[in-house]
Chains A and B, each alone.
Chain A
Amino acid sequence: MNVNRTFRFIVARDHIMRGVFLFCAVFSIFALGCIIVFLFASGLPFIGKIGPGNFFGTEWNLHTGAYGILSMIVASLYVTALSTLFGITIGLFTAISLYRFCPPRAVAFIRQLINLLAGIPSVIYGLFGLIIIVPFLRDTISPSGVGYGILAASFVLSVMILPTIVSVSLDALNAVPKNYYEGSLALGATKEQTVFKVMLPAAKSGVFAAVVLSIGRAIGETMAVILVIGNSPVMPTSLFQSVRTLTANIALGALELSGDALTALISTGVMLFVFTLLLNISFSLLMGGEKRGKKRAAKPAS
């Protein structure tokens, strides 16, 4: 009798705890749902109210009620594209040289170092840009004598996303089966040819993941950008010109504005959210298809 009761208690406890774990797991879905509902419910009506023509126009002037964010979208895209280009070029080559062209002991040390650097707060990168990169650009290569702008922001961001790119692409390269390498050497290719022509193409989905990750980080970064881009709400015409990104627009006005202007900031946030959502969805669709294919192929072996 007693044993039976204990047994029933254990079964009940298992069910309850399972429910608790399930609740925790579902919390992510709940949180995401809340974010979507709150943002869209507060941001979208405003776009309807002032009209998409105004909202996607080029003029941002709080006194005349012009809330056009097109110039910021363009600036955001410029900064994202340039920083991803710089970051991927340097980061991918760095990962390749860490993969085969370095002594293994140095690689372990450099990886630790790079992991450490990945944790540096973005505001520190912004500060670095403000006190080093902006004066440097102003005094050397800027034709207009302005250091702030898209180029400064792209430099800062590409340094900031470098650790992520290096470790993601190095992981991708390390995941390529070792016998590809040996097979290619056996066919007479040199070590360098093998790395660039066999291993790198085999790791391309991981490299692609690094690209998408860095685009996501670059477009959403606020603090590293806001300190070096100058923040004038104008259409970018030069790399050395004070412009404003979507993220900077939100952070700048957040504490000072109210009423319609504040709602305009929330709508700006909605646009940013839509951008990253599209990026994420297309990425997980691409990667999801690939992973499922791999799992199916791996099943009989396990």
Chain B
Amino acid sequence: MAKNAPPNQPPEQTPPKHSASKATFLNKILALHDARNRQVFLYKALKVIALSALVISLITLLAVIIFILARGAQHINWQLLFGDYDPYPSIKPAFVGTLYLVLISIAVAAPIGIGSAIYLSEYMNTTSRLIRFIRIATETLAGIPSIVYGIFGYLVFVIALGFNYSLIGGGITLAIMILPVIVRSTEEALLAVPRSLREGSFALGASKVRTIFTVVLPCAANGIVTSLVLAIGRVISESAVLILTIGMVTDKMPQNITSSGTSLALDVYYFASHGYPEEAAATGVVLLVVVISINIVATILGRVYGKSEFADG
């Protein structure tokens, strides 16, 4: 009976012939029903807020890309991309500088990062306190702001080693910065290789090192390559480190790895802060296209890797 009572009926209207306890019972039920309705409405409202937050974040994030493309695409021309820097600005030195930085930082960080991940995942149980220290160090490195890496690179390479502003100094500083990224994702790729494969290899008489190089690493190859591609994306995106280590020399082609230079991201900052907003937007478009295509490559590689995991296991 209580269930069928209309929720809007005020408790005073209950027939007086009912006993007092019954009336309060009905009263309680109605109050509960009201409270539940209010709650359901409240959470429905929260759901609407959540969905509008989703719309807002998608719109703002896409707005970043669309506005940059709209402002910059029209100012891309041959002179800006491949011309000499003399009368008008050009980003040709930045292409070369970025390429140098990617090569140097990956050449330094990839072997160390992969080796470190191998130690963390394959020799895990042996010295656990050391492993914990290594993990803390890696996590701390990942949390250091890039401008602090820049100061470190400046102190070590420009001042202590006397290289002056140089691509090699910037590249090595970047290598330390991307090391945690490589270690973490390589470790994940290695841990995804099924244990049974290693055990099978041991059972066939292979040593640990041989198992790592002939069984574990080939199985994890796709994941490792994905992590390296993501690390390349980080190197290309980075600018705060470089302002202190490679010198932001936008108008000269770098001769070799010890000369100062510039990168695409640094050029965007240079143009934006030195009164070339059109060139900044155009360089931004180039940078955006490069970084997004690298990330798409990484996503595709990651998907291939995700599929092959089942095939191998």
Contact = CB atoms under 8 A, between A and B. Distances in A.
Contacts of B61: 113-114, 117, 159, 162-163
Contact of B64 (A125, A222, A272): A125
Contact of A98 (B54, B114, B144, B152): B54
B35 interface: no
B299 A115 contact: yes
A166 B46 contact: no
A116 B292 contact: yes
A272 B145 contact: yes
Contact of B179 (A31, A122, A216): A31
A147 B137 CA distance: 40
A21 B272 contact: no
Interface string B62-88: 011101100100000000000000000
Interface of B: 39-40, 43-44, 46-47, 49-54, 56-58, 60-61, 63-65, 67-68, 71, 111-116, 118-120, 122-123, 130, 133-134, 136-141, 143-152, 154-156, 160, 176, 179-180, 183, 207-210, 212, 230, 233-234, 236-240, 243-244, 247-248, 265-266, 268-269, 272-273, 277, 280-281, 284, 287-288, 291-292, 294-296, 299
A193 B64 contact: no
A74 interface: no
Given A28-B183, A126-B269, A190-B43, A273 B143 contact: no
Interface residues of A, number: 87
B273 A34 contact: no
Given A21-B116, A35-B152, A121-B291, A276 B54 contact: no
Given A25-B120, A28-B183, A279 B143 contact: yes
A290 interface: no
Nearest to A275: B145
Contacts of B44: 192
Nearest to B240: A222
Given A117-B64, A123-B287, 9 more contacts: A24-B119, A31-B137, A90-B53, A94-B54, A115-B299, A119-B234, A119-B237, A119-B295, A159-B64
A204 interface: no
A127 B281 contact: yes
A286 interface: no
A225 B58 CA distance: 22
Interface in A80-117: 89-94, 96-98, 101-102, 110, 112-117
